């Protein structure tokens, strides 16, 4: 009866020593983290900072454990992590200032970027924006409010040009209530699933 257990232990040990396989638990953890954020965004309209912090810690540990005792690898990994974390703030920060995107959404993308690196971070942002655009199209078609949206956009551009400064895209003073807001973390989750599926297909 000892043979199956020793054989299973040998298989597990060989899998654990494989760098490719070590990435699988990290990807699963990232998927669980983003799913939790999407659920929170759907139910409460926000992503708690505690949840973001957990995602950052898990991402950092899963990346750094692969470079234990390897100085050059550690430096490359730290640079990749820093770039993946910073890119969402650099590229999408303006949307947060204009209130077109929530701060929690950028934090979510940054936490995921810490795990995926700068290339993965760029792809995740691109896939997320595409998924969000698809959601916007569906909402617009269902509500049949495209003319109202275009008129609001025209008015916002006119106000910005006339005042010489860009204010929040939506505000309580505008009186435009049919904004079509939705939980952006859900498109991020769909984007992550797509990204991981593409990576698995390449592997």
Residue with tokens 């006339």: 162
What is the model's pTM? 0.78
**Residue 114: what pLDDT?**
96
137-120-139 Cα angle (round to 5): 10
| DSSP at 172 | G
What confidence tens digit (pLDDT) does each residue in 135-185 have?
988 888 888 877 887 887 788 787 778 877 766 666 545 555 555 678 899
What confidence tens digit (pLDDT) does each residue in 63-88 have?
888 777 677 788 899 999 999 999 99
- Structural domain boundaries of the chain? 22-144+184-202
Cα 60 to Cα 66, 69, 85, 140, 150: the distances in Å are 10, 16, 11, 39, 43
Residue with tokens 């860009």: 166
């Amino acid at each position: 009866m000892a043979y199956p257990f020793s054989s299973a232990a040998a298989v597990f040990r060989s899998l654990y020593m494989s760098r490719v396989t070590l990435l699988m638990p990290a990807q699963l953890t990232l998927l669980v983290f983003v799913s939790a954020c999407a659920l929170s965004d759907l139910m409460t309209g926000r992503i708690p900072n505690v949840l973001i912090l957990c995602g950052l810690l898990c991402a950092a540990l899963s990346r750094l454990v692969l470079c234990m005792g390897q100085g050059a690898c550690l430096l490359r990994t730290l640079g990749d992590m820093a770039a993946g974390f910073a890119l969402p703030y650099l590229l999408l920060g303006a949307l947060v200032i204009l209130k077109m995107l929530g701060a929690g959404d950028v934090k979510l993308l940054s936490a995921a970027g810490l795990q995926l690196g700068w290339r993965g971070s760029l792809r995740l942002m691109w896939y997320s924006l595409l998924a969000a655009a698809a959601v916007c199209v569906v909402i617009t078609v269902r509500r049949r409010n495209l003319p109202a949206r275009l008129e609001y956009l025209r008015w916002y551009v006119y106000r910005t040009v006339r005042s010489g400064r860009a204010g929040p895209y939506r505000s309580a003073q505008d009186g435009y209530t049919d904004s079509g807001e939705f939980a952006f973390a859900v498109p991020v989750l769909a984007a992550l699933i797509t990204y991981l599926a593409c990576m698995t297909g390449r592997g």
